[in-house]
Amino acid sequence: MKVLSVDDSAMIRKIIRGAVEVLDGDLLEASDGIEALELLEEEYRSIDLILLDWNMPRLDGMEVLKKLKADSRFRAIPVMMVTTESERSNIVKAIQHGAVHYLVKPFTIQELVKRIMESLGKGGYKND
Protein backbone atom coordinates (compact mmCIF):
# COMPACT_ATOMS: atom_id res chain seq x y z
CA MET A 1 0.00 0.00 0.00
CA LYS A 2 1.39 3.40 -0.98
CA VAL A 3 0.02 6.74 0.19
CA LEU A 4 0.87 10.24 -1.02
CA SER A 5 0.64 13.00 1.59
CA VAL A 6 0.37 16.52 0.19
CA ASP A 7 0.76 19.05 2.99
CA ASP A 8 2.94 22.10 3.46
CA SER A 9 3.51 21.19 7.10
CA ALA A 10 6.34 18.72 7.68
CA MET A 11 4.84 17.98 11.09
CA ILE A 12 1.55 16.83 9.58
CA ARG A 13 3.44 14.66 7.08
CA LYS A 14 5.35 13.10 9.98
CA ILE A 15 2.11 12.30 11.79
CA ILE A 16 0.67 10.80 8.62
CA ARG A 17 3.85 8.77 8.12
CA GLY A 18 3.35 7.18 11.55
CA ALA A 19 -0.26 6.28 10.68
CA VAL A 20 0.65 4.81 7.29
CA GLU A 21 3.51 2.76 8.75
CA VAL A 22 1.16 1.21 11.29
CA LEU A 23 -0.90 -0.02 8.35
CA ASP A 24 2.30 -1.46 6.84
CA GLY A 25 2.23 1.08 4.02
CA ASP A 26 4.78 3.39 2.39
CA LEU A 27 4.47 7.15 2.28
CA LEU A 28 5.43 9.59 -0.45
CA GLU A 29 5.46 13.27 0.48
CA ALA A 30 4.83 16.50 -1.38
CA SER A 31 4.81 19.93 0.24
CA ASP A 32 2.45 21.65 -2.21
CA GLY A 33 0.13 20.99 -5.15
CA ILE A 34 2.74 21.48 -7.87
CA GLU A 35 5.13 19.04 -6.22
CA ALA A 36 2.29 16.56 -5.84
CA LEU A 37 1.36 16.66 -9.51
CA GLU A 38 5.01 16.28 -10.54
CA LEU A 39 5.37 13.28 -8.28
CA LEU A 40 2.16 11.75 -9.59
CA GLU A 41 3.43 11.90 -13.18
CA GLU A 42 6.05 9.35 -12.17
CA GLU A 43 4.29 7.43 -9.46
CA TYR A 44 0.56 7.41 -10.14
CA ARG A 45 0.39 3.71 -11.00
CA SER A 46 1.62 2.70 -7.55
CA ILE A 47 -0.34 5.16 -5.40
CA ASP A 48 -3.39 3.81 -3.55
CA LEU A 49 -4.51 6.94 -1.71
CA ILE A 50 -3.83 10.67 -1.70
CA LEU A 51 -4.17 12.73 1.49
CA LEU A 52 -4.60 16.35 0.48
CA ASP A 53 -4.32 19.57 2.46
CA TRP A 54 -6.37 22.54 1.29
CA ASN A 55 -4.37 25.68 2.04
CA MET A 56 -0.94 25.37 0.46
CA PRO A 57 1.40 27.69 -1.41
CA ARG A 58 1.53 27.74 -5.25
CA LEU A 59 -1.38 25.38 -5.91
CA ASP A 60 -4.02 24.70 -3.29
CA GLY A 61 -5.73 21.40 -2.52
CA MET A 62 -9.02 22.22 -4.22
CA GLU A 63 -7.21 23.00 -7.48
CA VAL A 64 -5.20 19.80 -7.14
CA LEU A 65 -8.39 17.82 -6.56
CA LYS A 66 -9.98 19.27 -9.70
CA LYS A 67 -6.89 18.45 -11.76
CA LEU A 68 -6.75 14.91 -10.41
CA LYS A 69 -10.35 14.22 -11.23
CA ALA A 70 -10.03 15.75 -14.70
CA ASP A 71 -7.11 13.46 -15.61
CA SER A 72 -8.00 9.91 -16.61
CA ARG A 73 -4.69 8.61 -15.24
CA PHE A 74 -5.30 9.97 -11.75
CA ARG A 75 -9.05 10.04 -11.29
CA ALA A 76 -9.39 6.52 -9.88
CA ILE A 77 -7.02 7.22 -6.99
CA PRO A 78 -9.12 7.96 -3.87
CA VAL A 79 -8.48 11.36 -2.30
CA MET A 80 -9.09 12.24 1.32
CA MET A 81 -8.89 15.90 2.31
CA VAL A 82 -6.90 16.45 5.53
CA THR A 83 -7.19 20.11 6.35
CA THR A 84 -8.03 22.89 8.77
CA GLU A 85 -10.59 24.18 6.26
CA SER A 86 -13.86 23.19 7.89
CA GLU A 87 -16.62 25.38 6.53
CA ARG A 88 -19.63 23.38 5.48
CA SER A 89 -19.81 24.76 1.95
CA ASN A 90 -16.19 23.82 1.33
CA ILE A 91 -16.62 20.31 2.69
CA VAL A 92 -19.58 19.74 0.39
CA LYS A 93 -17.62 21.27 -2.51
CA ALA A 94 -14.72 18.84 -1.97
CA ILE A 95 -17.09 15.86 -1.83
CA GLN A 96 -18.83 17.05 -4.98
CA HIS A 97 -15.46 17.21 -6.68
CA GLY A 98 -14.76 13.62 -5.80
CA ALA A 99 -13.03 13.50 -2.38
CA VAL A 100 -14.00 10.26 -0.59
CA HIS A 101 -13.43 11.60 2.92
CA TYR A 102 -12.85 14.86 4.67
CA LEU A 103 -10.78 14.88 7.83
CA VAL A 104 -10.55 18.16 9.70
CA LYS A 105 -7.48 19.06 11.75
CA PRO A 106 -7.20 18.61 14.69
CA PHE A 107 -7.65 14.85 14.57
CA THR A 108 -6.58 12.04 16.85
CA ILE A 109 -4.09 9.54 15.49
CA GLN A 110 -6.75 6.81 15.83
CA GLU A 111 -9.13 8.86 13.73
CA LEU A 112 -6.47 9.34 11.07
CA VAL A 113 -5.61 5.65 10.88
CA LYS A 114 -9.28 4.75 10.74
CA ARG A 115 -10.08 7.23 7.95
CA ILE A 116 -7.07 6.09 5.93
CA MET A 117 -8.30 2.51 6.16
CA GLU A 118 -11.78 3.52 5.13
CA SER A 119 -10.57 5.61 2.21
CA LEU A 120 -8.25 2.97 0.78
CA GLY A 121 -9.70 1.25 -2.19
CA LYS A 122 -12.78 3.45 -2.32
CA GLY A 123 -11.40 4.90 -5.54
CA GLY A 124 -13.64 5.73 -8.39
CA TYR A 125 -15.24 8.98 -9.20
CA LYS A 126 -18.91 8.96 -8.49
CA ASN A 127 -20.16 12.29 -9.70
CA ASP A 128 -19.56 13.84 -13.06
Partner 1 sequence: MTSMDIEKIADYFTDSLRQVLRTMAGFEVSNTSCDQLDFSDKESNIIGIMVLHGKKDAVISLSMEYSTAAMVIAYMTGILPEELSESDLFDGVAELVNIMAGEVKARLSNTPYHFLLTSPFSIGGTSLKVARKKNLTEACRHLKAGEMDITFRIAYI
Partner 2 sequence: MPNITSKEFELMRDYIEKECGIDLGRDKAYLIESRLSGILAESGLSSFQELYKKLRDEKDIKMNEKVIDAITTNETLWFRDKTPWIILEDVLLPQYIEEIRQKKRSRVRIWSAGCSTGQEPYSTVMSIDSYLKKHNIKDISLDHFEIWATDISHSVLDIARAGKYDSISIMRGLEDEFRDKYFTNEGRKWILSREIKDRVKFRQFNLQNSFITLGKFDIVFCRYVLIYFSAQLKREVTKKIHGVLNRPDGVLFLGNSEFFTNYEDSFVKRQHKGGVYYMVKEFEV
The strand pair at 26-30 and 49-52 is best described as unpaired
Task: Decide: is 24 part of the binding site for partner 1 (CB under 8 A).
Answer: no
Task: Decide: is 113 part of the binding site for partner 2 (CB under 8 A).
Answer: yes
Q: Which does 12 bind (CB under 5 to 8 A by kind): partner 2, partner 1, none?
A: partner 1
CA distance 33 to 25: 22
Q: Which does 84 bind (CB under 5 to 8 A by kind): partner 1, partner 2, none?
A: partner 1
Rounded to a whole number, what is the largest CA-CA distance in the chain? Answer: 35
Near partner 1 by CB under 8 A: residue from 61, 85, 100, 125: 85
User: What burial letters (b/e) apply to 3-34, b meaning 16+ CB within 10 Å?
Assistant: bbbbbbeeebbebbbebbeeeebebbbbbbbe
- DSSP, collapsed to helix, strand or coil, labels residue 111 as helix
Near partner 1 by CB under 8 A: residue from 11, 24, 41, 45: 11
Q: Which does 22 bind (CB under 5 to 8 A by kind): partner 2, partner 1, none?
A: partner 2
What is the total count of residues that contact partner 2 (CB under 8 A)?
34
Task: Decide: is 83 part of the binding site for partner 1 (CB under 8 A).
Answer: yes
